[in-house]
Amino acid sequence: MSTTLDVEEIKVFLRDAVVRLVEEPDSLGDWQDDTKLDDHFNSIIMVNLMVEIEDKFSIVYEPHEITVDYFSTIEVMTSFVMQKLSSSEAS
């Protein structure tokens, strides 16, 4: 996966994944990319989201990255994916 992938493409994928995985998408209300999503995730949603991100962007998580801190908002997730893509290309 190339970092030439547009940031907006990543955000669209992440937004769609969150809406698809959250049990009650209407509970998100009028959410933005900086809206905290922690309250809408349980452990199963979190794992499914991580797997979808891993599959889509071919990234590998380090043990310390398996935490809600990296998945709290769309902005945080986008930065995380961009960082992982950049570091995988540098390797």
**How do the domains of the chain map onto residue ranges?**
9-90
pLDDT at residue 1 in the model: 42
The Cα–Cα gap between 19 and 3 comes to 24
pLDDT at residue 47 in the model: 94
pLDDT digit string (tens) for the chain, length 91 residues? 444 578 999 999 999 999 999 877 777 778 899 999 888 888 999 999 999 999 999 999 999 999 989 999 999 999 999 999 988 776 6
> Which class is 9-90 in CATH?
mainly alpha
pTM confidence score: 0.86
List the end-to-end C-alpha distance of the chain, in Å, as a whole number.
13
Residue 82: CA atoms inside 13 Å, Cβ hemisphere, count? Answer: 14
